[in-house]
């Protein structure tokens, strides 16, 4: 046999990573006392749970299981530590974060081995990706801690933060959560997943060594009961959760009305789109990373392969050939590509979904690769002939299963990619960068990788749209999740009376005083043909307005969704229209001031001031429409990340009675400035100020459907907006009960909800305008664009 023949005949031999240090660490600890609370190790109430090696099923440790009393103790410790930690200088916090990162570097091999034996991921991934990136987050956020006052003026840490992380990236998710929280001056109670608690326990030891003050970081292991205790604890001001969409909805509902800030990074069904001009070999390697990284147990896994028809046969052949060379085996073997799934329950779930997908018509192919005799292994699986409605195309499998579909042209590719209730990530493969950057903004995903996949960095935000959750982790936008601005509060909003107050009617020479609804650019009668009497400040009839209903809200939402001219307009064009609105409102300032005085009893001067402030606010957002822009991040890789500001979509707005004109415009204007379309419910008591705006809107070049106004009972219409799955965001200033109910009702599509929790804002204040509202009006999409050979 010559040298060339020997070269081609060579196979990989075993290259095991030593685990003796990890075994020694395990043997030296009493994991029944593994709750890290107030800087000390505690046993809790004596209960424990097992954590096992998924490659063998063997027990690794019996770990203390936190109960409600333990969670309370942890929150109390965090509360006690909060004043001193939040008052410490940014430099002091930066030194602690840096010390954590450096201590992790000194023990990174131990972290990597523990992660692989507890989770099952190949050592190459934990060693080369998870642990270095976790360290990067702490060192990166040390810089944010020191720059906090400069880069986030008028912002402060939210307080005590409850954090719940999953088992697929135990250490990395911990870093994503804890690093920005500490940088912001928050204290933390973190619960790791019960399948994978070990690296969190090692991290707690690192906190002791790095000089983290007692109570600043508390780590409590446990199951769903511990998680629920964190979510429901009144001493927690923010919940940060990564996990399934189902649990995310439970958390959203549980926190409704509590005033807690929440961020949810949930499931995904990411599209991996391959155009016919792509480098197919590179795309195949990207696909391996996209779906078989961490056995497919990745929320942003590229689990839906969309291939252009002309290259399907050639590309699938390359994929099958590559799958046949994937090495399935021990996670501690440095040559392993695919390790075991985390647990038997996860293995059974993946098998069940594959079987159901096959029953629904998918052809499931697996390479002829031997599986280890022990452990929770599943072969990489390619499903072809998948219909868009197949369970493998719609449900998050969270395993090494790839569903394949084909498309004919760019428009069909975008439609298929967006045919999901999720919106976490996507990959676009094309040698034509113009095509890739044409497609990326049209994909409903928080992260889009061009000619790459699974690229992450602490400087770049990560998070989703739709049922993939809301909020961002990493980068500047991730810091905002742990900060709050003190918006000036207005009066408490009282519920509207159950029965209408009598209105004095008098003879008038006016033929009719009934205002209609404003939907799709037209004044229309309410579907139910009912109206409400609106009284002047003296109790006399000022006019009547349509009593909007569920059907009217549906029509308004449909009109807002159909309006493509506004979100597709340039920021400069939107700016011009908002300026024109201000100009035309200014031309009728006297009329609106008189109406304010008539309805509210305000003095002539106060009424004129509110109208002038409304015009000024329109001017403000007109000017900011083309200035509140995204950023370009430069991660430590040969890539740039475009952090694009995109409109949330259809935004429902429910205004309160205080400052009825200024309050409505202060909400509608920033939403419009960022390209959203709006369904507005104006003040229930003073809606004629909104109906008087119809003519101003009509002759100000506002596209039909960009602004829709439905008058009626605020609480009832807010509930309809909250439940409507085609509404993407809801801004609500109503009584506390209505706000809480709307937050709970929003779980259908996990829309972004901003409420005043029963209070209005002081709309006359400068703090109630500007960037604070514009940030709520945008989604940040991070598009990764690699460069170089």
**Active-site pick, 186, 207, 299, 460:** 299
Q: Are 184 and 483 in contact (CB under 8 A)?
A: yes
Please tell me the distance from the alpha carbon of residue 474 to that of residue 23, in angstroms, as a whole number.
33
**Active-site pick, 265, 467, 473, 477:** 265
b/e burial code for range 629-647 (CB count within 10 A of at least 16 → b): ebbebebeeebebbbbbbb
Q: Of 252, 323, 265, 273, whose CA–CA distance to 298 is shortest?
A: 265
504 is catalytic: no
How many other C-beta atoms are found inside a 10 Å radius of the C-beta of residue 766?
A: 9
Enumerate the H helices of 625-735 as residue ranges.
660-673, 688-691, 693-698, 714-723
b/e burial code for range 472-503 (CB count within 10 A of at least 16 → b): bbbbbbbbbbbbbeebeebeebeebeeeeeee
Q: Are 112 and 119 in contact (CB under 8 A)?
A: no
Per-position DSSP letters for 339-379, written without gaps between them? ---S-HHHHHHHHHHHHHHHHTT-EEE----PPPSSS----
Beginning with the edge strand found earlier in the chain, give each strand of the sheet holding 531-535 in spatial order.
514-515, 541-546, 531-535
Q: What is the 3-state secondary structure (H, E, C) of 535-566?
A: ECCCCEEEEEEECCCHHHHHHHHHHHHHCCHH
Please tell me the distance from the alpha carbon of residue 279 to that of residue 398, in angstroms, as a whole number.
27
276 is catalytic: no
Q: Are 461 and 483 in contact (CB under 8 A)?
A: no
- Beta bridge partners of residue 16, listed in sequence order: 333
Displacement of CA 773 from its chain's centroid (Å): 17
Say which residues have a Cβ less than 8 Å from residue 3's Cβ, sequence separation at least 6: none
Q: Residue 550: is it exposed, middle or buried by C-beta count within 10 angstroms (0-12/13-18/19+)?
A: middle
Q: Are 185 and 484 in contact (CB under 8 A)?
A: no
Q: Residue 366: is it exposed, middle or buried by C-beta count within 10 angstroms (0-12/13-18/19+)?
A: middle
Could you list the active site residues? 265, 299
């Amino acid at each position: 046999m010559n040298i060339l023949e020997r070269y081609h005949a060579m196979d990989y031999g075993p290259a095991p990573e030593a685990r003796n240090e990890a075994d020694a660490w395990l043997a030296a600890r009493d994991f029944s006392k593994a709750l890290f609370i107030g800087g000390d190790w505690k046993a809790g109430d004596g209960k424990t749970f097992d954590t096992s090696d998924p490659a063998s099923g063997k027990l690794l440790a019996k770990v203390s299981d936190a109960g409600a009393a333990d969670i309370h103790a942890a929150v109390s410790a965090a509360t006690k530590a909060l004043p001193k930690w939040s008052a410490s200088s940014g430099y002091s916090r930066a030194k602690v974060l840096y010390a954590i990162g450096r201590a992790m570097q000194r023990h990174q091999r131990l972290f990597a081995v523990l992660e692989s034996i507890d989770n099952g991921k190949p050592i190459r991934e934990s060693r080369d990706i998870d642990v270095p990136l976790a360290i990067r987050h702490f060192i990166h956020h040390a810089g944010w801690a020191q720059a906090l006052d400069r880069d986030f003026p008028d912002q402060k840490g939210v307080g005590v933060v409850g954090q719940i992380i999953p088992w697929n990236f135990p250490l990395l998710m911990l870093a994503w959560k804890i690093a920005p929280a500490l940088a912001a001056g928050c204290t933390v109670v973190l619960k790791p997943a019960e399948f994978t608690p070990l690296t969190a326990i090692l991290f707690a030891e690192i906190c002791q060594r790095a000089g983290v003050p007692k109570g600043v970081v508390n780590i409590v292991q446990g199951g769903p009961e511990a998680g629920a205790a964190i979510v429901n604890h009144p001493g927690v001001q923010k919940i940060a959760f990564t996990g399934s969409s189902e649990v995310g909805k439970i958390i959203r509902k549980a926190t409704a009305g509590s005033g807690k800030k929440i961020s949810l990074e949930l499931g995904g069904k990411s599209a991996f789109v391959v155009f016919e001009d792509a480098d197919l070999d590179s795309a195949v390697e990207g696909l391996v990373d996209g779906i078989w990284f961490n056995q497919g147990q990745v929320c942003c896994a590229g689990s839906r392969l969309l291939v252009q028809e002309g290259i399907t046969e050639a590309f699938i052949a390359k994929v099958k050939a590559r799958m046949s060379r994937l090495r399935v085996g021990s996670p501690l073997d440095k040559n392993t590509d695919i390790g075991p799934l985390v647990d038997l329950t996860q293995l059974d779930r993946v098998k069940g979904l594959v079987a159901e997908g096959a029953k629904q018509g998918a052809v499931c192919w697996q390479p002829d690769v031997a599986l280890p005799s022990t452990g929770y292994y599943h072969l990489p699986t390619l499903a072809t002939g998948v219909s868009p409605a197949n369970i493998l195309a719609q449900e998050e499998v969270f395993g090494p299963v790839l569903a394949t579909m084909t498309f004919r042209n760019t428009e069909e590719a975008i439609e298929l990619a967006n045919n999901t209730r999720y919106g976490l990530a996507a990959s676009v493969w094309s040698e034509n960068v113009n095509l890739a950057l044409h497609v990326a903004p049209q994909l409903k995903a928080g992260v889009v990788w061009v000619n790459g996949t699974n690229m992450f960095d602490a400087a770049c935000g990560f998070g989703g749209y739709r049922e993939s959750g809301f909020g961002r982790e990493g980068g500047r936008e991730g810091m905002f999740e742990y900060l709050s601005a003190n918006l000036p509060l207005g009066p408490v909003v009282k519920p509207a009376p159950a029965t209408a107050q009598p209105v004095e009617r008098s003879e008038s020479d006016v033929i009719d005083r009934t205002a209609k609804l404003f939907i799709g650019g037209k004044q229309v009668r309410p579907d139910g043909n009912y109206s409400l009497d609106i009284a002047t400040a003296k109790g006399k009839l000022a006019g009547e307005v349509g009593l909007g209903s569920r059907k009217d809200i549906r029509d308004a939402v449909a009109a807002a969704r159909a309006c493509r001219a506004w979100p597709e307009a340039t920021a400069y064009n939107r700016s011009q229209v908002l300026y024109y609105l201000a100009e035309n409102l200014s031309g009728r300032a006297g009329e609106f001031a008189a109406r304010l005085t008539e309805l509210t009893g305000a003095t002539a001067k106060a009424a004129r001031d509110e109208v002038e402030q409304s015009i000024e606010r329109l001017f403000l957002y007109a000017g900011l429409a083309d200035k509140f822009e995204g950023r370009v991040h430069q991660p430590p890789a040969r890539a740039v990340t475009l952090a694009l500001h995109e409109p949330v979509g259809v935004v429902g707005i429910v205004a309160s009675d205080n400052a009825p004109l200024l309050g409505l415009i202060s909400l509608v204007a920033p939403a419009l400035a960022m390209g959203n379309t709006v369904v507005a419910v104006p003040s229930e008591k003073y809606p004629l100020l909104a109906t008087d705006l119809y003519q101003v809107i009509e002759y100000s070049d506002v596209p039909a459907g960009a602004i829709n106004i439905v008058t009626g009972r605020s609480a009832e219409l807010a509930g309809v907006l909250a439940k409507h799955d085609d509404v993407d965001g809801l801004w609500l200033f109503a009584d506390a009960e209505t706000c809480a109910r709307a937050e709970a009702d929003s779980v259908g599509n996990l829309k972004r909800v901003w409420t005043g929790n029963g209070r209005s804002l002081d709309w006359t204040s400068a703090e109630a305008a500007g960037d604070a509202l514009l940030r709520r009006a945008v989604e940040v999409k991070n598009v990764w664009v690699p460069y170089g050979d």
